[in-house]
Amino acid sequence: MVEILGRYVYVSGPFLAWLFSQVLKVVFYLLSEKQLNIAKLFDVGGMPSSHSALVVALVTIIGFKQGTSSPLFAVALFFAAVVIYDATNLRRAAGEHAQTLNKVIPDLLRGKFIQPYDFKALYETLGHNPAEVLVGSMVGFGVAWILVIGIPVG
Condensed to tens digits (0 to 9), the pLDDT of residues 51-107 reads 899 999 999 999 999 999 999 999 999 999 999 888 777 766 777 777 777 777 777
> What pLDDT sits at residue 29?
92
Number of domains in the chain: 1
Task: Examine the pLDDT at 31 and tell me if it is beyond 70.
Answer: yes
Tell whether pTM > 0.75: no
Q: Note down the domain range covering 105.
A: 2-150
Radius of gyration of the chain (CA): 19
Which pLDDT band holds residue 127 (cuts at 50, 70, 90)?
A: low
Query: Going by C-beta distance under 8 Å and a sequence separation of 6 or more, which residues neighbour residue 78?
Result: none
In a 10 Å sphere around its CB, with 0-12 CB exposed, 13-18 middle and 19+ buried, how is residue 152 labelled? exposed
Closest C-alpha among 100, 88, 93 to residue 131: 88
